[in-house]
Amino acid sequence: QELQVLVQKKEDMMVQLEQQLEEQKQSRLQDAKFVEEKAAKIKEWVMLRLSEFEVENAALREANQQQKAQVLELQKQVQAFEQTMSGGQGALGKPGEGQRLS
């Protein structure tokens, strides 16, 4: 009879351990699902931010190109003005008079 009691206790312990193991498996599955959902949200956020940065970068590149073109045009105008000033000194003013650039 003592042997039966001992066997029953061992069987009860095995059942309890199996239940604990199953609970741990379920808990780990839930944790894994939570981590996957969190990772998906993070990935979605990163992709959205990357897309926003790409749009902003394209706009900045376009603005940069426009400003480069403006700088080149202004440089051409300054160069033309300087040539006019140096080549037409007699026509614009008397020698010795200062020319004002404003």
Whether the predicted pLDDT of 100 surpasses 70:
no
Determine the pLDDT at residue 87. 77
Question: pLDDT for 44-74, tens place per residue?
Answer: 999 999 999 999 999 999 999 999 999 999 9
Give how far the C-alpha of residue 37 lies from the chain's centroid of Cα atoms, to the nearest Å: 21
C-alpha–C-alpha distance, residues 85 and 37, integer Å: 71
Global model pTM greater than 0.75? no
> 30: which 2 tokens?
């839930």
